[in-house]
């Protein structure tokens, strides 16, 4: 072991001296390897960042991995059962949905049906009565300054399960006394509408006892392309009966989001089944697993292309290495004559290419980190998805491995050739 360690140390020292003595050849080898190693680093970093961003967007819409979701069926008494079960709890939040129109009374909203403001869905909302007859409540009305949007009433802070990104103002505070003027938080699409159009602060919801005067307190990014707003359930039910939120003819989707392990789940399922629900499926969010195959396929495709560039770079190192060994034949023959083992000669050549690959990997990682930092500084304010993006150091590890592998591939043949130089070469020289 001591003998092997001494030979390895000798090979590394002599290899380092060789790099210093032949700086230009080392630079040429690094240039040929640089693009290949950089491609591997960029692909790995891009895949890591893409996975992070895609997960972040999915978390806004479906929840963090491990979150349990129960869809509440529109049954008589379901709303009361849900609220009674999750009220005051931090490990479960009910999300009850409906639609609202904010603005001038007696007019058709600018975005009928709650469509995005840059799109026209070409139709209004439909309301169905108990007999199954559906009608448009805004039929025949003139278009005016009003905005239609989805409303989600919350029993608690849902951000532990869906991490909505704050943009301005503040989020709903569930620790204060409910107010008669409901406080609402808009998503970015709804905020775009209120910024573009000047509408009165009057909110109408079908089935409410009277129109409300909402207070706009904040804006969040919830990943929804349609205008949406969030309100405390106890403030909305001052005007709208809870039963209307779980009406089968309503607009919204009613859900309960829960922590992975909570006593709420069996109690809630038992209550809903007692009310007549035939099946109460509990879904567990696992977004990372669902998109893993897609991301792995993309990563393999780009890694294959990066590997091709890396092989071309290794071929350049091989070419430089063979030329260098050809120039150093007398040196290696002389070392053999004074007793240097063949393994040490091969180790000297491999040490040079390995160190060259390592230096190239460090340079490629440094360029990648600096480029990502520059992009986030200059484009981050205008591109929200770039904010908070950090370089994934797993890509750095991949770059180092790629550099070392390329060094071995490029130095293996020259190392064998150096080890095979006969001692008699010194006599011919």
Interval 10-40: pLDDT, tens: 666 766 676 666 777 777 777 777 888 888 8
**In which band, very low, low, confident or very high, does the pLDDT at 424 lie, cut at 50, 70 and 90?**
low
Task: Please give the distance of CA 348 from its chain centroid, rounded to a whole number.
Answer: 45
Provide the 3-class DSSP secondary structure of residue 187.
strand
**CA–CA dist 113, 124 (Å, integer):** 5
Q: Tokens standing for 369?
A: 């980190």
What average pLDDT is seen over the chain? 81
pLDDT of amino acid 304: 81
Give me the pLDDT at residue 203, please: 93
Residue 2: the pLDDT is 42
- Tens of pLDDT, residues 46-88: 777 777 777 777 788 888 888 999 988 888 888 888 999 998 8
- pLDDT tens profile 362-405: 888 888 888 888 887 877 666 655 666 777 777 788 888 888 88
DSSP letter (8 states) at residue 371: H
Quick: pLDDT tens for 116-159. 988 776 555 666 655 666 666 666 677 788 999 999 999 999 99
Measured distance CA(49)–CA(47) in Å, rounded: 6
- Residues 6 or more apart whose CB falls under 8 angstroms from that of 91 comprise 258, 259, 262, 264
For 82-141, the DSSP string reads HHHHHTT-SSEEEEEEEEEEEESTTSB-TTGGG--TT--------EE-TTS-EE-TTTTP
Report how far residue 190's alpha carbon sits from residue 174's, in angstroms, rounded to the nearest whole number.
22
In the three-class reduction of DSSP (H, G, I as helix; E, B as strand; rest coil), residue 284 is classed as strand
Q: What is the pLDDT of residue 381?
A: 66
pLDDT higher than 90, residue 299: no
Q: Which among 159, 167, 162 is positioned nearest to 55, based on CA atoms?
A: 162
- CB-based contacts of 389, cutoff 8 Å, min separation 6: 49, 52, 53, 372, 376, 380
Q: What is the pLDDT of residue 202?
A: 92
pTM for this one?
0.67
**Three-class DSSP category at 192:** helix
Q: Is 427 exposed, middle or buried (0-12, 13-18, 19+ CB in 10 A)?
A: exposed
Secondary structure (3-state) at 382: coil
pLDDT band (50, 70, 90) for residue 4:
very low
Residues sharing a CB contact under 8 Å with residue 79, sequence separation 6 or more, in sequence order? 72, 96, 242, 243, 245, 246, 254
Q: What is the DSSP string of 340-362?
A: --HHHHHHHHHHHHHHHHHHHHH
Q: Which residue has the tokens 């849900």?
A: 82
Share of the chain above pLDDT 90, in %: 21
Region of poorest pLDDT, from 17-21, 314-318, 424-428 = 424-428
**Tokens coding 44:** 């790995």
Asked if residue 213 has pLDDT above 90, the reply is: yes
Q: What pLDDT score does 28 carry?
A: 74
pLDDT of 1 over the 60 cut: no
**Count of all residues that appear for the chain in the document:** 429
Say what the pLDDT of residue 5 is: 61
pLDDT of residue 234: 92
Report the pLDDT value the prediction gives residue 131, as an integer from 0 to 100. Answer: 60
At 374, is the secondary structure helix, strand, or coil? helix
The CB density around residue 84, as the number of other CB atoms within 10 Å, is 11
pLDDT exceeds cutoff 90 at 412: no
């Amino acid at each position: 072991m001591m003998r092997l360690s001494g030979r390895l140390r000798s090979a590394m020292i002599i290899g380092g001296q060789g790099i210093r003595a032949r700086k230009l050849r080392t630079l040429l080898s690094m240039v040929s390897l640089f693009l290949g190693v950089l491609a591997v680093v960029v692909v790995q970093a891009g895949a890591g960042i893409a996975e992070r961003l895609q997960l972040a967007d999915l978390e806004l819409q479906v929840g963090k991995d491990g979150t349990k979701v129960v869809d509440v069926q529109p049954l008589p008494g379901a709303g009361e059962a849900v609220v009674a079960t999750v009220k005051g709890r931090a490990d479960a939040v009910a999300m009850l949905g409906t639609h609202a129109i904010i603005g001038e009374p007696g007019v058709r909203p600018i975005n009928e049906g709650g469509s995005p403001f840059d799109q026209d869905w070409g139709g209004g909302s439909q309301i169905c009565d108990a007999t199954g007859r559906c009608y448009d409540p805004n039929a025949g009305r003139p278009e005016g300054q009003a905005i239609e949007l989805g409303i989600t009433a919350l029993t608690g802070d849902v951000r532990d399960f869906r991490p909505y990104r704050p943009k301005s103002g503040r989020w709903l505070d569930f620790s204060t006394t409910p107010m008669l003027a409901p406080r609402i938080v808009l998503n970015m699409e709804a905020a775009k509408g209120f910024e573009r159009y000047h509408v009165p602060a009057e909110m109408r919801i079908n089935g409410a006892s009277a129109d409300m005067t909402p207070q706009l307190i904040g804006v969040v990014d919830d990943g929804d392309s349609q205008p949406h707003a969030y309100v405390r359930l106890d403030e909305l039910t001052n005007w709208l009966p809870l039963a209307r939120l779980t009406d089968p003819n309503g607009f919204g989707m009613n859900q309960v989001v829960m922590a992975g392990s909570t006593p709420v789940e069996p109690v809630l399922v038992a209550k809903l089944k007692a009310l007549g629900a035939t099946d109460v499926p509990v879904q567990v969010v696992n977004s990372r697993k669902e998109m893993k195959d897609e991301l792995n396929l993309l990563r393999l495709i780009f890694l294959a292309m990066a590997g091709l560039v890396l092989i071309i770079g290794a071929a350049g190192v091989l070419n430089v290495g063979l030329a260098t060994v050809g120039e150093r034949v007398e040196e290696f023959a002389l070392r053999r004559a004074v007793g240097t083992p063949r393994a040490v000669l091969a180790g000297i050549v491999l040490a040079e290419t390995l160190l060259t690959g390592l230096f190239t990997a460090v340079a490629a990682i440094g360029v990648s980190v600096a480029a990502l930092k520059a992009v986030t500084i200059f484009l981050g304010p205008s591109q929200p998805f770039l904010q908070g993006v950090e370089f994934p150091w797993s890509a750095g590890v991949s770059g180092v491995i790629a550099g070392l592998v390329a060094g071995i591939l490029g130095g293996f043949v020259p190392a064998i050739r150096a080890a095979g130089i006969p001692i008699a070469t010194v006599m011919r020289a």
